Amino acid sequence: MSVEECRYRLRHLTAYRYSGRTDVCHSLAHLRPRESAGQELLSHRVDISPRPRFEADRKDYFKNDTLYFEILGSHDLLEVVSTATLIRTEPAEAPPLPATAPWDDAGCRGLAREIDEDGFYLANFLLPSRACPDHPAIAAFLAPSLVPGRDRMELACEIMERIFEEFTYLPGVTDTSTSIATVLKTRQGVCQDFAHLMIAALRHLGIPVRYVSGYLETIPPPGKKKLQGADASHAWVEVWSAETGWIPFDPTNKLRPSVRHIKVAHGRDYFDVQPLKGLFVGTGRQKLVVEVDVERI
Amino acid sequence: MPSEIVDPPSSAVPPMQRLGYGALADRRDEAVRLDGGTELEWEALFESVARHGPGVLPEWRAVASRISRERGLAYRSASVEEGGGSEGWSLDPIPWIISATRWEQVETGLRQRLALYDAMLKDVYGARTLLRERIVPAEIVLGHPGYLRALCELPPGGPVMGLGMSAFDLAKDSSGSPFVVNDRFDCPFGLGQALENRTVVNQVLPRLFRRCGVQRIGQFFIDWFDFLQRRAPEASELPLVAILDPSGEQDDSEMGFLANYCGILRVHPSDLTVREGRVWIKALRGLVPVDVLWKTMPGKDLDSLESESRGQPGVAGIFESMRTGGVAVASYPGTALLQSPGFYPYLEALCRHYLGEDLHIPPVATWWCGEDPALVYVLENLPSMVVKSVGEHRAFETQYGRRLSQEGLAALRERILSNPRGFVGQEELTITTVPTSRSDLLVPRGAVLRAFGFFDDDNGGRILPGGLARVSTAEGVVISTRETGESKDVWVCSGIDLEPFSISSVVERSLPSPPDIIPSRAGENLYWVGRYAERAQVTARFAARILDGRSRGFSRDAEFEAAHEECLLRGLFEVFECPAELEKVVDADARLNLVLSESGCPAGLVWHLQALRFASNVTRESWSPASVRAIEASLGCWERALASGEGPFSYAIHLEELQLNLAAFLGLNLDSMTRDEGWALLDAGRRLERATLICGLLRFLLLSEEGGDRLTLLNESVLSILDSVRTYQRRYHDAPATVKTLLLVIGDPDYPRSLSQIFARLGEVLAKLPPPAHHAPPAERLGPLVAKLDRFVETLDLNLAWPQSRNREAAAFLETARDDLAALSDHLTISYFSHAFEA
């Protein structure tokens, strides 16, 4: 089986510009790409301006790298730049999905008390979470796909395809506070909404699934030069199977993630792995600018 | 107070029978033995009631409520814990009496329970053996919203505190054995209320109290504060312990009472800031480090950066500070999880697992619906079940099968089946009754006892001897903490006459008085009280001037009047820098209403008064009773005016009343407050606001492009709004003219309301503030502004011509002055309120 390997340089800028004066800012960041069998991190750094008075690194509950920092001083612009170089390797073609037990098999029910290969109870990824509550509309959405005796991974694939087909990718109509119920009603959203929807749907059936935050390398149209900052933060999901462990799915693009997907962190949903979260003391409003560049080297 | 007789009775019939008291059919009563006789510890109480004869019970109640009122206490279970608002709990002076021997059993049981839950807490946030060894299903822990994953790398133990103040609701069933019906660890309410009940009842029944030899509760609080101080992360001579109470605005919260009583500083989340691994109180004199926090808010809201809840007040970064060992927090913020009734079916096994012992006091029989056999059992017995959520107890109203109709039961069944692992079913207990006063009778009423304790790693569990009893008001069996009911003191009676022992005297001996710290939040609000009061004053005078024009008229020409009113309105909206708000409305009456009655208009009276109300509420402790009355009168009179529905023309008299009350409020404050830093900020706020408003108003006058009669009238209006008409007339004996107005209002060295005098006063007041830690003293910032003003005043000469170009020049000066004042205000904010460093 042939293996695809890619080296990347990554730059992720987040800038907050304040209309008033901001005096103090406490922040939490999930910016360092996770290392795994298919992802080797060569270098990573975070540059923050103005310079924080205090910084602390740690691993969070899900073993993601977390950076805490404090900015104490009046400022009207906060810039956080995360840069990394890394090597991604993946089989050139996604391996076939394992054959699993049917979704309606009663054996499913005990999964919560099992642990995954990293020692985490699957209950973490099976129970409702803040962004993925169990909503009645989920059952209605699932209904057409619930063919008795259907293989679980096959079902996961179909849910991914249906999200891609039945929902419109439309930036700006949703934000981090938009509920799944709203997304199910309006049938539009962005990668984060689609990941949450897929999570809620599979969890409803007792299939463990987790949220992945990261980046996706975009390929410019033929003959066009790639625009700076054109790449984006991305989100997809990983579905657990007893046979092979965690398998990634990208419902936004209806594909099995490849070398072009660079994973930063995983958790129950967006709120576990929010790239940058800050609390400000000051006056006025803030304006957010995000730029991502994923460049092959 | 009626004299209280406790001598033995002469009659042969026991007092309980004479009073007609007895247990209800099929119910056990705490005071009645199985053979119908009186329990020993209750005899003295029945004797006393019988001896006093009819009328004594209502009298005792009246005395109790009078004492409570005098102590300024509305009984409130400020129930953060229950997620509800504050509800009234009246006090029944008849205590729940428990013999010392029986209490010993309860105490032993609760000490074991504290040890058990403390071990469990360390385990769920540490090694998680309870999951690995499959003692508890993983869903019960990992699915609970109170399981704080953010803290999993920081289990309790060592410097990280575990269980802090904890509460246990105890009930007895018809067999007489005690059960725990609720465990509360996150922010249990009622401790302050228990203390308060004790204080009041002790005063109502002092002799009975002594005769029964009631165990004192003071030592418990001393031990608790001692425990908190010992947990201070750094060996400081006087560790600073503070109560972190989000209900800071309410003086009458029980935590406020507890804090005052015990001499401990109470802070609001917004008083705190986390910097470089430590937690600091933002105080006017600078940042003061806190060593230990006793939190009375849900742990999941504690760190606004890491918590999962939105919009709650919290302290950003406090978890990080706990990680670096900069602060000790009691309780551990992740304790809400342990309140889940989902643990009850496994509690026996957990007790053997952690302590190697059998559980002394069982929880009420409970079935977790996430297990199939339990689910079947609960559904089959639903009509006799109590159904609770295993998640947050706030999220789902506890359902009592017995009270539900067939449809209700069917709906509940559906609800459980939709998510079985989210629910437990519990056996409904027929709880025991205690004697309770109802008008002139003692009657049996179901009661639950809330006991309090904490776990000290060095000394084991400590239990308050007594607690808070809650009684159902009706004859019903069930007590919900959400329902309004009555509370009682709980007496643990040794039967030995004990020395009087008051908590306050003991506390004085062993605890330092709270440090003299003025939190910045209080200072900031005082500053804004000054500013808003001044804004309200000026707006009221604007409005009065406009109404004056409408009712009296300044000329005979309607068009002239309308133009002047229009001009004044524009002036007002310019002064408050929101001219666009005025443009949104066309109709003249509607425009006037913007100023008088609209709540959403930033140049309106209602807006300023609402802001004033908020800022003055936050700083209530600073006001004298007369000041409180004056501010209430100010706010009240305008609310009444608007509610009267009489319309704008009748407002003139109310405006006058409002101005008088505001003037009284400001005057009283200047007289009655101690001239400390808080006062300096209040006064600075007034001066700074007044100077800003003068600059804005004069600038408007200079740029108005009015001429002739209209300009004269505008000058008169400006003087009227600044309350300077009389002074002007005395000084100039002349019709108002712009240059003279400027001279008086800006430069007059003998007029206290002139800008130069206001600046001089502002300088004096700012000099009273402590020098900021990281910034220039604010008085220094004022210096250049004063110099600019002096130079400008020198150019004002009545003998020189005043061409139109001078208007623009003067307006430009006033514009910079206003910007400088805004910068000074920012400087005060950074130096004293937000404590930011200069970038």
pTM for this model (two decimals): 0.84
Judged by CB atoms within 8 Å, which residues 292-321 of B form the interface with A?
A: 304-306, 308, 316-317, 320
Q: CA-based diameter of chain A, in Å?
A: 61
Query: pLDDT at position B76, please?
Result: 43
> Which chain B positions have a beta carbon within 8 Å of A21's beta carbon?
826, 830
The total number of residues shown for chain B amounts to: 839
Residue A112 has its nearest CB partner, among B138, B838, B839, at: B138
DSSP reduced 3-state for A4? strand
- A residues 89-118 closer than 8 Å to B (CB): 112-113
Mark which residues 153-182 of B lie under 8 Å from A by CB.
Answer: 153
Q: What is residue B507's predicted lDDT score, i.e. its pLDDT?
A: 40
Nearest CB neighbour to A61, from listed B139, B149, B320? B149
Residue B276 with chain A: CB contacts under 8 Å: 53-54, 70
CB contacts of A49 in chain B (<8 Å) are none
Look at residue B457 in the predicted model and tell me its pLDDT.
83
What integer pLDDT is reported at residue B74 of this predicted model?
A: 45
The Cα of B319 is separated from the nearest Cα of chain A by a number of Å equal to: 11
For residue range B699-719, what is the model confidence (pLDDT) as tens digits? 999 998 888 888 999 999 999
User: Residue A145 carries which side chain, given as an amino acid letter?
Assistant: S
> Which of A73, A124, A281 faces B838 most closely, judged by CB atoms?
A73
Cα–Cα distance, A73 to A25 (Å, whole number)? 8
**Contact (CB<8Å) B323/A56:** yes
Q: Name residue A7's beta-bridge partners.
A: A87
- Half-sphere exposure of residue A257: CA atoms within 13 angstroms, side-chain side: 27
Name the nearest CA neighbour of A155 among A99, A211, A193: A99
Chain B residues in contact with A52 by the CB 8 A cut-off are none
Q: Which helix (H) or strand (E) holds B168?
A: strand B166-172
The residues, ordered by sequence, that sit 6+ positions from A165 with a Cβ below 8 Å of its Cβ are A254
What pLDDT is stored for residue B249 in this prediction? Answer: 52
Instruction: Give CA–CA dist B453/B232, Å, rounded.
Output: 20
**Interhelix angle B778-795/B804-828, nearest 10 degrees:** 170
Q: How far is A111 from chain B (nearest CA, A)?
A: 10
Which pairing describes strands B423-427 and B433-438: parallel, antiparallel, or unpaired? Answer: unpaired
Q: Which residues pair with A238 in a beta bridge?
A: A210, A248
What is the rounded distance in angstroms from the CA atom of residue B75 to the CA atom of residue B88? 6
d(CA B711, CA B119): 81
The set of residues, in sequence order, having a beta carbon less than 8 Å from that of A198 and lying 6+ positions away, is A156, A159, A160, A163, A209, A237, A249, A251
Radius of gyration of chain B (CA): 33
A50 CA to chain B: closest CA distance, Å? 8
Nearest neighbour of B276 by CB, restricted to A21, A53, A61? A53
Question: Hey, what are B783's tokens?
Answer: 């210096």
Tokens in use for B482?
Answer: 């959400």
Is the CB of B149 less than 8 angstroms away from the CB of A58? no
Tokens standing for residue B710: 């209209």
pLDDT of residue B258: 78
Specify the amino acid at residue B664. A
CB contact under 8 A, A123 and B138: yes
Tell me if chain B has a CB within 8 Å of the CB of A24: yes
Q: What's the rounded Cα separation, in Å, for the pair B769 and B687? A: 15
In chain B the first and final C-alpha atoms are separated, in Å, by 65
Report pLDDT for B84: 38
Cα B412 from Cα B776, distance rounded (Å): 65
Bridge partners (DSSP) listed for residue B454: B462
Residue B166's beta-bridge partner residues?
B453
pLDDT at position B83 = 40
- What does the pLDDT read at residue B86? 38
User: What's the pLDDT at B506?
Assistant: 41
Cα–Cα nearest to A191, from A205, A207, A171: A171
Structure letter (DSSP) for residue B831 = I
Is B837's Cβ below 8 Å from some Cβ in A? Answer: yes
Q: Do B150 and A61 touch (CB under 8 A)?
A: yes
With b for 16 or more beta-carbon neighbours within 10 A and e for fewer, the B539-553 pattern comes to: bbbbbbbbbbbbeee
Residue B196 Rama label (left phi>0; alpha psi -120 to 50; beta): alpha
Distance between start and end Cα atoms, chain A: 24
Burial of A9 (0-12, 13-18, 19+ CB in 10 A): middle
Do the Cβ atoms of B316 and A279 come within 8 Å? yes
| Residue in A closest to B318 by C-alpha | A26
Q: List the 126-185 stretch of A: residues with Cβ below 8 A of B.
A: 126-128, 130, 134
CB pairs under 8 A between A and B: 94
Q: How far apart are CA A170 and CA B85, in angstroms?
A: 42
List, for chain B, all residue ranges whose pLDDT scores fall below the cut of 70.
Answer: 1-11, 69-89, 235-236, 248-253, 308-311, 392-395, 473-484, 495-515, 621, 837-839
Question: Contacts of residue A53 in chain B, CB cutoff 8 Å?
Answer: 275-276, 837
H/E stretch holding A263: strand A261-267
Q: C-alpha distances in angstroms, B161 versus B112, B120, B460?
A: 18, 13, 13
CA B686-B690-B695 angle, to 5 degrees, is: 155
The stretches in chain A having pLDDT less than 50 are: none
Smallest Cβ–Cβ distance between A279 and the set B131, B277, B305 belongs to: B305
